[in-house]
Each structure stands twice: as C-alpha cells, then as structure tokens.
Amino acid sequence: MYTAKKFEYLLGTKGFSDALLKNHFGLYEGYVKNTNALVEKLNSLSADGAFTTPEYAELKRRFGWEYDGMRLHELYFGNMASMGKMIAEGHPLMQKIISTWGSVGAWEKDFKATGAMRGIGWAMLVHDKESDALFNVWINEHDTGHLAGATPLLVMDVFEHAFVLDYGVKRADYIEAFWASIDWEVVSRRL
C-alpha cells in the first residue's frame, strides 16, 4: 500500500500561504487514500473473478485518475523548495534546454505560457528518452495527455486548488511564485 509523503518542509515558502499548502497536502493525501482503496477493491474483485463486471471496469478506469493524482503531486511538491535552488548553466539539463529552445529565457517563456493556458491541469517539462528530446507539455486532468515513455522533469500544478486561495484568478502571479520555489537540483536529477 502507498503511504503519503510528508512535504511540511515547504511551509513558509515565499508566495504560498501555509493555509494553501496545508489544503493542497490534504488533497494529495486523499489521492493516496483513494489509490489504496482502489487497489484493495480491484484485488478483491480479481480474487472473485469479477473481471467482466461494470464495477471492475469503472474502477479500472478510475485508477489512473487517483494514482496519477498521487504521483503528480509527489513530483510537484518534490520539485519545490522553500528557497528555490538553481543549477549552473553548464549543467547537462540547462545545456539541453538551451539546445532545444535557444536559451533558458525562451524555454522559461514557453513553459510559463503553457502553464498560463486556460483550463485545469498540469504544465510539465518532460524528457523523451527514446529521442533524447525535451518538451513542455500540457496534461489535461491527471490521467490524460501524458507522452508515453516521457519522464516528467519539472511539474507545475495548474488546477485552481494550487493557487486560488492565495492568488484568486491571477494564475500568472502563482506561476512566478512557483518559479521562485523550484528546486533545480531535484529537477536535474530526474533527467
């Protein structure tokens, strides 16, 4: 079974109220709880041979939502720090960003524009190991829009729960606060 990870070290992060973070941690813990409940229920249905029931099918479909909600939040909180941490421009990730977008600034502009798009979801910098390419992608919902085989490097939650309490509808202000909290050491290790 899965255990909720602790991210209380993010309390006090500039640009994020403790109330917003605690609410967000609680939402994440709900994904962990629901993932565990689905695993148990699916195992029970499997043991009973109920593979062709509508209940089994719907729970299988729901599993991706809960599991991805759990994992994406872990990646999101995991690539944040109460004081953002930079990496050197000569780092392989920064070199790859520059070779893909021409400059770190051009990539940053594209990533932030991806996160500022209307709608709910996630903005991510992903690495496709097969082609060794980087992409800024929009993930609509938790369980749709992922590039198969791509590794999430930088994950930004742009569902309203991630910012409305502190920023209302000013998503761009939230994106700037998130940007200042990125732990680039974690992001670069994911490459």
User: In which domain, by residue range, is 177 found?
Assistant: 92-189
Phi/psi at 118 (nearest 5 deg)? -65, 145
Closest CA to 119 of 100, 141, 102, 90: 141
Question: Minimum mean pLDDT among 70-79, 87-96, 180-189: which range?
Answer: 87-96
Written as one letter, the residue type at 81 is A
Q: Note the pLDDT tens digit of each residue in 111-133.
A: 999 999 999 999 999 999 999 99
Q: Note the pLDDT tens digit of each residue in 74-86.
A: 999 999 998 888 8
Predicted pLDDT at 86 = 82
Predicted pLDDT at 83 = 85
Do 127 and 56 have their domain in common?
A: no
The predicted model gives 160-185 an average pLDDT of: 95
- The 10 Å Cβ neighbour count of residue 131 is 10
Do 108 and 36 have their domain in common?
A: no
**CATH number for position 122:** 3.55.40.20
The predicted model gives 130-149 an average pLDDT of: 88
In this model, does residue 149 exceed pLDDT 90? no
Q: Determine the Cα–Cα distance for residues 12 and 3; give it in Å rounded to an integer.
A: 24
The predicted model gives 92-110 an average pLDDT of: 95
All residues at 6 or more sequence positions from 188 whose CB lies less than 8 Å from its CB, including other chains: 87, 91, 92, 93, 153
Please indicate, yes or no, if residue 66 is contained in any of the structural domains.
Answer: yes
